[in-house]
């Protein structure tokens, strides 16, 4: 960001006296990469030109009404086989074996719980085929606890499940019933009466989420979480029309980044990514009424890891990013890592396009899979309804279906 070189006397930026401070000198340094400015109060700053451009919040870069960055102003250039095995460590807790619970362990919420073992995950890239994802029958999962449990286990292994032959509905009743019965219950939104959201086409939409003719860049939901930790699951029901979702395995991208550019991985997993969301302004185009004002800021790394370096989650949405507070001496390298990550999640190696239509439901591991919308591929009548499921609700449903008490380890001592 910027570095203060010297300062003679304190300057209170909130004070009326600050308006009397004048710019006395400005100079371009490092062949145009930095700007040095001096003021009449004796203060002096050195700023990255890149940071000044990226931090700009004027109307050209940020929508005042939606409170979102314009995605087409991002500087990165987006381009138009993995192990299925799982090596389980079997531990004994109070005489019982934990091997059968290994898939659920990372989502227990206990302090010190390790990140998911990626040997238990079927990481995916773009295989260049029309549909490379797991499908399940809606009625089967709704009527069978065995099928319900198998679906949850497959979801956490593959990251994506598409439900077929979903019961038709004009409202959110089917979506909510499915989430409550099979996923543990839909999360209540604190700034909206109903727990689910509705997205349908709106002419001249100010928020990119509702501008269905244009691309929606890949992101995770709740990158600015209202309850601290982002929800674990995202479920989307296609009520009308068709669309083309873009899906990216964030774990696969992060691991590839770690291998190809360890310094970039370290920066993105060390320094916080500043974000801010106004829950009313970001829904300016929604047909649903907001119930209260809510403005939340966060500063979490895009790639979040456990103490051993295992990847816990990806937490990222470009539209809510605010000026970076990465230390001056690391900003340029962090920004290089950030743009590289953006190129990877929007490039043909990792991004997969999957058509979805009425009668289908998309379920994602929101800690792992980034999602978006391909531009110009949605029907004019596309209406989708969706919502999120928190880790605690998912874990509760899973252990009930497992039919036993979850074996608690002393994770801190492992």
Q: What integer pLDDT is reported at residue 10 of this predicted model?
A: 36
Rounded to two decimals, what is the model's pTM?
0.85
Q: How far apart are CA 186 and CA 388, in angstroms?
A: 6
The pLDDT assigned to 231 comes to 97
Q: What string of DSSP letters covers 137-198?
A: EHHHHHH-HHHHHHHHHHHHHHSEEEEESPPP-SSSHHHHHHIIIIIS-PPPPTTBSSSSEE
State the Cα–Cα distance between residues 310 and 119, nearest whole angstrom: 11
Q: At what angle do helices 262-270 and 328-345 cross, to 10 degrees?
A: 110
pLDDT by position in tens, the chain (length 414): 666 554 433 333 444 455 688 999 999 999 889 999 999 999 999 989 888 888 888 888 888 888 888 877 665 554 433 333 454 443 444 434 356 888 999 999 998 899 999 999 999 999 999 899 999 999 999 999 999 999 999 999 999 999 999 999 999 999 999 999 999 999 988 878 889 999 998 888 888 888 888 999 999 999 999 888 999 999 999 999 999 999 999 999 999 999 999 999 999 999 999 999 998 888 887 878 877 888 999 999 999 999 999 999 999 999 999 999 999 999 999 999 999 999 999 999 999 999 999 999 999 999 999 999 999 999 999 999 999 999 999 999 999 999 877 887 777 554
List, in order, residues 6 or more apart from 401 with CB less than 8 Å away.
Answer: 145, 148, 149, 152
Neighbouring C-beta atoms of residue 351, cutoff 10 Å: 22
Q: For residues 178 and 277, give the distance between their C-alpha atoms in angstroms, rounded to a whole number.
A: 29
Helix/strand/coil percent split, the chain, to 5: 30, 25, 45
- The pLDDT, as a whole number, for residue 83 is 34
Domains and CATH numbers, the chain: 2-55 (no CATH), 72-413 (3.60.130.10)
* pLDDT for 9: 37
Distance (Å, rounded) from C-alpha 89 to C-alpha 100?
10
pLDDT for res 11: 37
| CB-based contacts of 336, cutoff 8 Å, min separation 6 | 264
Q: What pLDDT does 208 receive?
A: 85
pLDDT of residue 19: 65
pLDDT of residue 301: 98
Computed from CA positions of residues 8, 14, 17, 23, in that sequence, does the dihedral angle turn out positive or negative? Answer: positive
């Amino acid at each position: 960001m910027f570095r203060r070189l010297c300062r003679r006397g304190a300057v209170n930026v909130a004070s009326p006296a600050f308006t009397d401070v004048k710019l006395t000198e400005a100079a371009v340094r490092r062949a145009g990469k930095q700007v040095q400015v001096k003021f009449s109060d004796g203060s002096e700053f050195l700023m990255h030109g890149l940071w000044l451009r990226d931090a700009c919040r004027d109307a050209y870069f940020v929508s005042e009404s939606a409170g979102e960055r314009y995605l087409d102003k991002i500087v990165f250039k987006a381009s138009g086989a993995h192990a299925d095995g799982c090596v389980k460590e079997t531990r004994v807790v109070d005489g019982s074996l934990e091997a059968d619970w290994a898939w659920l362990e990372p989502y227990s919420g206990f302090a010190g719980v390790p990140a998911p073992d990626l040997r238990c995950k079927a990481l995916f890239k773009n295989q260049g085929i029309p549909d490379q994802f797991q499908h399940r029958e809606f009625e089967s999962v709704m009527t069978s606890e065995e099928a319900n449990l198998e679906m949850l286990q497959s979801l956490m292994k593959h990251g994506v499940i598409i439900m077929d032959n979903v019961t038709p509905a004009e409202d959110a009743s089917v979506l909510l019933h499915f989430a409550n019965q099979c996923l543990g219950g839909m999360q209540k939104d604190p700034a909206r009466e109903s727990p689910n959201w509705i997205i349908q086409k709106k002419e001249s939409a100010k928020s990119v989420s509702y501008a269905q003719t244009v691309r929606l860049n890949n992101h995770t939901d709740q990158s600015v979480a209202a309850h601290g930790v982002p929800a674990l699951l995202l479920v989307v029901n296609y009520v009308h029309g068709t669309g083309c979702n873009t899906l990216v395995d964030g774990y696969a991208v992060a691991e590839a980044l770690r291998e190809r550019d360890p310094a970039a991985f370290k920066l993105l997993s060390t320094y916080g990514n500043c974000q801010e969301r106004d829950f009313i302004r970001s829904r300016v185009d929604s047909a649903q009424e907001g119930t209260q004002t809510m403005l939340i800021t966060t500063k979490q790394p895009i790639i979040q890891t456990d103490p051993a370096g295992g990847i816990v989650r990806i937490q990222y949405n470009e539209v809510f990013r605010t000026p970076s507070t990465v230390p001056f001496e690391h900003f340029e390298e962090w920004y290089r890592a950030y743009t590289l990550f953006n190129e990877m999640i929007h490039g043909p190696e990792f991004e997969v396009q999957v058509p979805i239509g009425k009668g289908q439901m998309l379920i994602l591991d929101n800690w792992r899979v980034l999602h978006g919308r391909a531009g110009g591929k949605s029907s004019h009548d596309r209406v989708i309804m969706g919502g999120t499921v928190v880790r605690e609700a998912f874990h509760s449903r899973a252990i009930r279906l497992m039919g036993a008490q979850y074996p608690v380890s002393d994770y801190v001592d492992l």
